[in-house]
Structure 1
């Protein structure tokens, strides 16, 4: 978040600092009361006690009044910001075709970041005159306590000479802590907008009260209230009374807003004076000729995104400093995410030149074992293939550890894609099953509590290992069929995982049996790794749509949009090189909605799938267990 947003979120939520200050003052006012009623009536101490009580009441009054004034404008503020967000969303949208251009996605992420940051109601209220006025009052209270402390003198011959200083000092500390949040609110609010002639004139007109301050009361006046009051005359009296009460509330609200505007004129006028003095100083010493290169680049970029800043008042232009800080924060976030790129995954994806693997992982000739067919998901298929590679890895150069390092990085992105598109209940169950299986494969090198490397250690051939995996999967499916009382959380996920293992392992056995000679372990592993790379590439073709859905986030509350855009920016930064790889690929003839599902890819005719590299080319160079492997724990 950029600078002002931090201030708005931390110091606008003032309950912590002000509560601490109030607690300190209450404790020491109690001690001071005990001292006063003990008969040692020091006039200076009693005076300080009186003013401390006034400060305590003032802080509590500030908290209650500022909250009540602002509570009535939050709904109106939300509606205005939501309306302007939808207007700008129409300008920021782009066509539905799939594009792997990082620059275009980055441009759209920045636009929605500006809209999300400035479209938060908390941000808008923190910029209002109410926040500025009550912050200024809090600062005055603190200054008054300092003056009282400075002029305080203890009684020369009092037995409580030392304790008086301690009590007064700690009470002043309470004043200081309680005034931290108001002071920051005042400073943030008066620095929120760009100082212009039009803006200054409008804010000098303190009697101009914007519509959103009283919109909630006006809505209540127009609303029909159901009542069980008998008689027409009684109902007339009721509605007249209601309107009179609401008119009084409107008048009080207008009066409070005018008073707040009047109070806020003091710090605002002071800031206007300082700004003009600073402007003339820059002209005199010619600072304008000395332009910072990085800041000038950000300013030129800011001109492009300035139109996507959401504002309650059209006349008030957001401060350039705040806008630039917002842009700097998203640039920093993208840069940081790019440094966390999935290096092992990218190494795997570069070895794939097509999407042939989406056809090869499942053979339609494999008969189903159960009438209840399970749906395939991207994560379940690649996790099942990874388990097979781990089971075979000890028979040839041990590629298993390198693949697991790739899958740690890849499944994190796959999970984002599936959560955006696979909302079907069956696909959700498949995704959950894949996550549970992956935990066993990654941590324990097991598949459904079966040691994957057991047969490899026994020097079994690749054919024997595949048959062993297939047979164990068949046993689990048959056990599921025969079980009448099924535990939903346990047996069903085992059935989903076993069904996938059965079909994939049987498909591999059929493929190898159709060859003239059974492939060597090295070639078999290479074929499987290329298949996984092809499937991941096909899955990652949904990245542009996933990122778009994350930063557009129509279904989220207006306060949650910032986190959604931040997640989209992080995913975009990590996926930059993946998008560059996909940008060179020829996509098959498949509609955009079907691209999100591996089953739709698998149904494509073989002629429409671009071919990958030949089996004997592009040997995969995975890191061996003795080499350093970049591992990112994603908790899938």
Structure 2
């Protein structure tokens, strides 16, 4: 009997051991899953830290979402980072396990607060899809955490942090509601800002310099400042970040961070030792009893840091909004302060007016029931929206009451310090751009306060800093080349009417192609020192980068695509391989004895290329010069310019170096004429139709102004031919005008021919 009992006991023990080994085998990958969750949480934390750093660096205390926005990638990362709170199958009774679930939910709250500005630039479809995706994820987390609270998985005897879970879950749900209802106002606010931006653009484009002696460069700087301010204050991210709901999310994120810290401190006091997630010897402490092992310690550590770092941006948005309100004159009319502007509820009102036409239901009662249900839902949503906005403004108003005395005291001390500094440094220059009334160009929604003077100064300083930074990248080689130009004679001289055409119609000239062709000819001359040829190539390369911008502003640019592509096609080969089409220019320079011989060879090659194409093409669209292949367009340019040079210098006995210098001057003349269009290009770059690209476009305009400021100051002293504003961008219009106003230049060209 005892023997049978012993055998039965041994069988049970073996079965239990086998079961335990099996569970260990199946639970082994969980450690690596935990490490993966920690790594993903680290990526999210670094992205939020990068946004915070970028905001401080650019002095944008509304912290736009540049590195961490609401999109498919971030949603995928969030789904991985939220693995622990949605895990119902793995027992997690240890202190580290319990705290890991809380840190994950707190981490999710912080991320929602950081993602709010990123919905501003989205279109309606993306907003809908992304908000639905976030809602599904948040609701899944809430349901799973509620199940764990009900079953006692979270409410263990070791750590009683159920209260913190309830608080954080409430805040998470509140943040989701705020995010969803804030998204409703985005389309209308963007529409309002778009109208204001275009109206302000009309105003700015018709403004003239107030000071008659103001240079065009200084006037352009003012234009850039105005559009920079319009782009920043009209940015959907800026409007979203400075909204009342976004400031409330900052308060909520701060309270979530406090709740997490409180729970961690309480657990630390309970176990009576330093925080195990910060001390290496406790990485394998028994506080982690789940299959995730010590990876939960890393998760708590990384996500806790992520919560602290991620709270910076929402908290500073709240503080910035409060400081804006404090800078406003104190008002006792609190009803206006709590007023709900129309753009918050206008989308719901518009949806309510839209009938349900697509529903083909014949039964009148069913249609009426559905219509009433729709109106009931929209009325409920409208009330919720009003409640959220009023509550958010109330939070902001309370914050202002608390912060106003403190900020007023700090502002008084600052003004006192500035007064002392001003008295000790009399005669110092004022800050650039402060004299310009920038407040006129701030785009505001209804109910928004004026930007404080310090914010306007910061924006003005940011513009000047961007221009000064670009000044350090001025095209020095190009400036050396332009110094050789003393007029615009080269624009007429590079192409002579005495050269017989190869086709009944000639393609129009662009700025780039003659410059590229003349450069190709110049470096093909024999006995030209390599460093001189390389210097010309560098100068032309810098000039073409600006000439390309000017060619892009042409009204008929779509019809001139092949002309633009021809210059790019040739230049890549000339700059990188010293080849014109398939001809090695260095080999031509070595084999040829004189520039005339090399020039004739290039002209013959170009003529053969054009004639071969024209002989094979029937009358049709391809026969039109604008539709020629890029090689044929480049060859036609080479033929005409080469023949022009041969005609002009047929009786001259110039050396290779002398003609090389003449071609350099001709190139400089063309580039000088081309670059007189830069002020117009900079002004056009300031304005941008796409709302999500306006800041980038105006930054490009500021960089372009800084790089070319010295060139613009030099060209401002030149006397330009009488051209209409719509003719200045075309080189052929320049040629015609110069020939009419200066017949001697045209006559000299013919005599040389």
TM-score by length of 2: 0.72
Question: Pick from 63, 74, 88: which aligns with 1:7?
Answer: 63
Aligned to 2:51: none
Aligned to 2:314: 185
Deviation at 1:62, TM superposition (A): 5.0
Query: Contact 2:222–2:433 at 8 Å: present in 1 too?
Result: no
Aligned to 1:522: 657
Query: Contact 1:209–1:254 at 8 Å: present in 2 too?
Result: yes
Deviation at 1:579, TM superposition (A): 1.3
Deviation at 1:101, TM superposition (A): 1.4
Aligned to 1:627: none
Which deviates the most, 26-35 or 136-145? Answer: 26-35
Structure 2 counterparts to residues 403-422 of structure 1, below 5 A:
403-421=536-554
Structure 2 counterparts to residues 233-252 of structure 1, below 5 A:
238-252=370-384
Aligned to 1:71: 183
Unaligned 5+ segments in structure 1 are 616-636
Question: Pick from 115, 124, 128: which aligns with 2:239?
Answer: 124
Aligned to 2:439: 306
Query: Contact 2:682–2:704 at 8 Å: present in 1 too?
Result: yes
> Would the alpha carbon gap of residues 155 and 288 (structure 1) be closer, same or farther in structure 2, given more than 3 Å must change?
closer
Q: Which has the larger radius of gyration?
A: 2
Which deviates the most, 315-324 or 374-383? Answer: 315-324
Deviation at 1:85, TM superposition (A): 1.8
> Any idea what the Cα deviations from partners look like across 1:448-486, whole Å, max 9, x if unmatched?
121112232124211111110001111212332344699
What's the RMSD between the two structures over aligned residues? Answer: 3.9
Aligned to 1:434: 567
Structure 2 counterparts to residues 380-395 of structure 1, below 5 A:
380-392=513-525, 394-395=527-528
Deviation at 1:207, TM superposition (A): 4.2
Matched, 1:532 2:667: yes
Matched, 1:277 2:414: no
Structure 2 counterparts to residues 134-533 of structure 1, below 5 A:
134-152=249-267, 153-154=270-271, 161-163=286-288, 167=296, 170-171=299-300, 173-178=302-307, 180-192=309-321, 193-196=324-327, 198=329, 201=332, 207-227=338-358, 228-230=360-362, 238-279=370-411, 281=413, 288-291=419-422, 297-298=430-431, 301=434, 304-313=437-446, 316-371=449-504, 373-392=506-525, 394-395=527-528, 399-421=532-554, 423-483=556-616, 492-513=629-650, 515=651, 517-533=652-668
Aligned to 1:36: 93
> Would the alpha carbon gap of residues 95 and 302 (structure 1) be closer, same or farther in structure 2, given more than 3 Å must change?
closer
Which deviates the most, 458-467 or 268-277? Answer: 268-277
> Would the alpha carbon gap of residues 552 and 237 (structure 1) be closer, same or farther in structure 2, given more than 3 Å must change?
same
SS at match of 1:214: helix
SS at match of 1:460: coil
Give aligned pairs, total.
604
Question: Pick from 720, 726, 741: which aligns with 1:608?
Answer: 741
Unaligned 5+ segments in structure 2 are 1-54, 98-151, 274-281, 749-753
Query: Contact 2:327–2:452 at 8 Å: present in 1 too?
Result: no
TM-score by length of 1: 0.84
SS at match of 1:421: coil
Deviation at 1:260, TM superposition (A): 2.4
Query: Contact 2:68–2:74 at 8 Å: present in 1 too?
Result: no
Matched, 1:593 2:726: yes
Structure with greater contact order relative to length (CA < 8 Å, sep ≥ 6)? 1
Deviation at 1:321, TM superposition (A): 3.4
Deviation at 1:208, TM superposition (A): 2.1
Output the CA distance in 2 between the equivalents of 1:473 and 1:397. 25
Query: Contact 1:384–1:500 at 8 Å: present in 2 too?
Result: yes
> Would the alpha carbon gap of residues 33 and 53 (structure 1) be closer, same or farther in structure 2, given more than 3 Å must change?
farther
> Would the alpha carbon gap of residues 24 and 79 (structure 1) be closer, same or farther in structure 2, given more than 3 Å must change?
closer
Query: Contact 2:499–2:643 at 8 Å: present in 1 too?
Result: yes
Output the CA distance in 2 between the equivalents of 1:299 and 1:421. 34
